[in-house]
């Protein structure tokens, strides 16, 4: 059976349907299944009031049953098929049902069965488009990310093997040097002994030569009485001094084999665990999601419900305070999981703490302002402007190099809550840009200039992302908040409400508000604008002069504000 032109329209296509009633051009919203007629709201009401059609089934257009395409019977060409023989599973015309071969068979309305088949096809198409394709593509993307992770891991392992081998070589060199020094000392001792022995025989030879002269002298004396004198009797040849022969050292070769050397070095092995199956989200979850708004997730729907009930307070209310130990001021805050956070000052003190002020970890970094962020996996990543790298801190507190930024010095960073992409503000030789990486560290995009070729940034020292994908950057040198869309096109710039505007920490909330710290001394505030750049509110707290620097919003819609010159973070309620 050929599908009608109306049924061939893709499910996701946007098209304008008009009412099928003669001379009515209004928008079609309803459908009469028995008449197979499109109806607007007014025509539907008239249709249901008419005595001839008031019993007809009228549904919304999306719930319509498809009209059975006209098809002639093979045996009775003047009749259309409209009946289904259930036992033979063949379409029949009204005359075919009286044929002998169909006697006693159960019959069905072909149009109803056709509608069931079409509904099944629609359901399967929806499943394929919304679940199977997206899920398999997600798994494919996950595999590509795993490939990148494996390559990176193996590069690290190879570097570790080489480093360990170099360490062993250095150790062998030191041992070799010690043994050579030992051989030198043995040689020096033996030579010293032999030199002393040589001196002994030189002295003895000199003694013999003197004695020989004496005997020659006595032999030549004519007065033989002298030969019987006491002096002559004292002349006796002393024995030859005894010395020892040196015992020469011998070299005993060490006994080592390849396995012995291999044991000294580390090895590459798989951990003794079974690999986990890749997580495939169940169809039930997708079915629920489809019932919401197409691709809208349950969480998004819940957030939408929350959005409808939230609005800005006319003023803020302080909820509580906590301290970040080990810093000189809380200039940036990255909220983690389980009520933990990272706080930092401009001097490079980066502290992991809980909301009770208990320090978990402290590390010394090259410093900065908005230079750290917590990823979706819970790990912290932070920039190192001095060495031009982005580092990662894992759960075991080990720090590893994650991304090299080349000639550009990274000064600010944010991990997307939408897709895990990483936004990095960078500077080099008086220029600045924002670079986007995916969660495996591969560069995706670089944003530097507007459509007129002018530089967008000068000092992007804080950066964040809004719920619509916009990239929002605090630029201290330009005294402006720069907002571009996810494609890098400049949307707007916000320059504050006073005569001077010194933007510092920046964050967004689930309503799309952009909240930025204005660090203008004597006029400090928290400015709130909407996602299109319209000014909404100037939040002034009861504690004026707090010099706000770091700011973030938690999952309970509370505002955490860090101060420039104290270790205190104040939590405010600003939504009602």
Q: How far apart, in whole angstroms, are the C-alpha atoms of residue 524 and residue 61?
A: 56
Phi first, then psi: give them for residue 468, nearest 5 degrees: -90, 10
Task: Estimate the crossing angle of helix 298-309 against helix 283-293, to 10 degrees.
Answer: 40
pLDDT digits (tens, 9 = 90+) for 218-242: 888 877 788 888 888 888 899 999 9
Q: What is the pLDDT of residue 383?
A: 96
Mean local confidence (pLDDT), 264-273: 77
Provide the percentage of residues in the chain whose pLDDT is more than 70. Answer: 90
Q: Which residue is associated with the tokens 């030579």?
A: 191
**304 alpha carbon, distance to own chain's centre:** 27
- CA-nearest of 569, 494, 498 to 532 is 494
- Residue 253: pLDDT band with limits 50, 70, 90: confident
Q: What is the pLDDT of residue 11?
A: 43
What domains, with CATH codes, occur in the chain? 114-264 (no CATH), 279-306 (no CATH), 333-539 (2.120.10.30)
Q: How far apart, in whole angstroms, are the C-alpha atoms of residue 156 and residue 160?
A: 6
Q: What is the pLDDT of residue 122?
A: 82
Between 294 and 103, residue with greater pLDDT: 103
Strand partners, 197: none
pLDDT digits (tens, 9 = 90+) for 138-154: 888 889 888 988 998 88
Tokens in use for 368?
A: 């900065």
- Residue 546: pLDDT band with limits 50, 70, 90: low
Q: What is the pLDDT of residue 108?
A: 87
Cα Rg of the chain, angstroms: 45
Identify whether the C-beta of residue 325 lies closer than 8 Å to the C-beta of residue 353.
Answer: yes
Identify whether the C-beta of residue 448 lies closer than 8 Å to the C-beta of residue 489.
Answer: no
106-120, 176-190, 290-304: lowest mean pLDDT where? 290-304
- CA-nearest of 543, 102, 487 to 317 is 543
Q: What is the pLDDT of residue 14?
A: 40
Tokens in use for 490?
A: 């400049």
- Residue 344: pLDDT band with limits 50, 70, 90: very high
pLDDT at 479 over 60: yes
Q: Residue 54 burial by CB count (10 A; 0-12/13-18/19+): exposed, middle or buried?
A: exposed
pTM for this model (two decimals): 0.50
Tokens in use for 267?
A: 């090895």
Q: How many helices (H) and strands (E) does the chain have?
A: 7, 30
pLDDT at 289 over 60: no
- Residue 115: pLDDT band with limits 50, 70, 90: confident
According to the per-residue pLDDT averaged within each range, which of 65-69, 125-129, 348-352 is highest?
348-352
Q: How far apart, in whole angstroms, are the C-alpha atoms of residue 202 and residue 205?
A: 5
Torsional class of 365: left (φ above 0), alpha (ψ -120 to 50), beta (otherwise): beta
Tokens in use for 219?
A: 């032999």
Q: How far apart, in whole angstroms, are the C-alpha atoms of residue 200 and residue 238?
A: 13
- Residue 315: pLDDT band with limits 50, 70, 90: low
pLDDT at 565 over 90: no
Between 135 and 403, residue with greater pLDDT: 403
């Amino acid at each position: 059976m050929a599908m009608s032109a109306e049924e061939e329209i893709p499910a996701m296509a946007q098209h304008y349907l008009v009412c099928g009633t003669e001379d009515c051009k209004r928008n079609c919203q309803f459908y009469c299944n028995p008449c197979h007629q499109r109806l607007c709201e007014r025509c539907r009401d008239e249709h249901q009031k008419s005595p001839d059609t008031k019993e007809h089934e009228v549904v919304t257009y999306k719930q319509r049953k498809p009209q059975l395409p006209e098809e002639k019977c093979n045996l009775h060409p003047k009749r259309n098929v409209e009946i289904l023989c259930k036992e033979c599973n063949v379409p029949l015309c009204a005359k075919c049902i009286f044929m002998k071969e169909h006697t006693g068979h159960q019959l069905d309305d072909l149009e109803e069965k056709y509608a069931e088949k079409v509904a099944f096809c629609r359901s399967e198409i929806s499943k394929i488009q919304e679940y199977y394709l997206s899920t398999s593509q997600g798994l494919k993307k996950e595999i590509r990310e795993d490939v990148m992770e494996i390559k990176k891991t193996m590069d690290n392992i190879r570097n570790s093997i080489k480093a360990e081998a170099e360490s062993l070589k250095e150790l062998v060199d030191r041992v070799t040097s010690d043994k050579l020094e030992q051989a030198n000392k043995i040689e020096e001792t033996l030579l010293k002994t032999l030199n002393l022995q040589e001196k002994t025989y030189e002295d003895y030879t000199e003694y013999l030569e003197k004695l020989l002269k004496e005997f020659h002298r006595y032999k030549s004396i004519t007065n033989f009485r002298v030969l019987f004198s006491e002096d002559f009797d004292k002349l006796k040849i002393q024995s030859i001094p005894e010395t020892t022969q040196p015992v020469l050292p011998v070299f005993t070769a060490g006994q080592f084999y390849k396995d012995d050397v291999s044991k000294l070095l580390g090895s590459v092995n798989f951990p003794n665990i079974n690999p986990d199956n890749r997580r495939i989200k169940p169809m039930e979850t997708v079915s629920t999601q489809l019932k919401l708004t197409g691709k809208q997730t349950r969480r998004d729907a819940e957030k939408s419900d929350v959005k409808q009930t939230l609005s800005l307070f006319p003023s803020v209310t302080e909820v509580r305070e906590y301290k970040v130990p080990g810093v000189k001021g809380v200039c940036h805050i990255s909220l983690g999981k389980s009520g933990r956070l990272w706080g930092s000052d401009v001097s490079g003190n980066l502290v992991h703490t809980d909301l009770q002020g208990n320090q978990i970890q402290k590390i010394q970094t090259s410093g900065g302002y908005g230079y750290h962020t917590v990823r979706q996996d819970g790990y912290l990543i932070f920039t190192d402007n001095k060495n031009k790298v982005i580092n990662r801190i894992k759960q075991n507190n080990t720090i590893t190099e994650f991304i090299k930024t080349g000639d550009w010095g990274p000064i600010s960073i944010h991990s997307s809550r939408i897709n895990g992409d990483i936004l990095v503000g960078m500077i080099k030789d008086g220029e600045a840009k924002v670079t986007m990486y995916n969660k495996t560290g591969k560069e995706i995009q670089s944003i530097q200039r507007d459509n007129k070729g002018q530089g967008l940034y000068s000092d992007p020292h804080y950066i964040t992302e809004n719920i619509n994908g916009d990239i929002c950057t605090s630029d201290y040198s330009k005294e402006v908040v720069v907002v571009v869309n996810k494609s890098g096109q400049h949307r707007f710039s916000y320059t504050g409400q006073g005569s001077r505007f010194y933007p510092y920490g920046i964050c967004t909330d689930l309503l799309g508000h952009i909240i930025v710290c204005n660090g203008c001394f004597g006029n400090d505030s928290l400015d709130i604008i909407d996602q299109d750049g319209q000014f909404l509110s100037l939040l002034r707290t009861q504690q004026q002069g707090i010099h706000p620097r770091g700011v973030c919003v938690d999952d309970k819609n509370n505002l955490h504000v860090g101060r420039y010159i104290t270790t205190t973070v104040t939590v405010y309620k600003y939504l009602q």
